Amino acid sequence: MGLAERRIAKDFQENEYQAFLKEIQEIVGKEITVEVSWDTLSVDGMSHLYKECWPQVYFQPLTQALKSICEDEMGKEAIADELQKIIIKNEEGISSESRWASFSDKILVLDHKPTTNINQIDARANKLQKLLEDSL
């Protein structure tokens, strides 16, 4: 990761990312550990896209799915009981919503290319919601 990527990633972590963490906590009603593998999200030469792509690829689908699940007490309790950690990374080269999320042992893993299929927010959110609801 070059200097340009590190600068943009740091700015995102200190600003937008903190807002997403707060939103996630408000949605689920508890603090959940979120680990982001920033090095794997930072693709050389693509730093100009991070502020647009990272929210659309990872955080908007996540918050959208959690809002849908936590719309009532039953969903909120199920998430509070069963979701302890979220890992966000780009390690497997996945660009399809059908394979971007996995959930086991109370850990949700979101693995997707950070600058590919960015506009498929609803598709990723729907797939994630179904995965979580089927597992809760």
CB 66 within 8 Å of CB 28: yes
Give residues with Cβ within 8 angstroms of 136, minimum separation 6: 69, 75, 78, 79, 82
Taking the C-alpha atoms of residue 16 and residue 109, their distance in angstroms, rounded to an integer, is 20
For 70-104, what is each residue's pLDDT tens digit? 999 999 999 999 999 999 999 999 999 999 999 99
Question: CA-based diameter of the chain, in Å?
Answer: 46
Task: List the beta bridge partners of residue 110.
Answer: 88, 101
In three-state secondary structure terms, 52 is: helix
Residue 18's Cβ-count burial label (10 Å; 0-12, 13-18, 19+) is exposed
End-to-end CA distance of the chain: 37
For 24-62, what is each residue's pLDDT tens digit? 999 999 999 999 999 999 888 888 888 999 999 999 999
Q: Which pLDDT does position 49 carry in this prediction?
A: 87
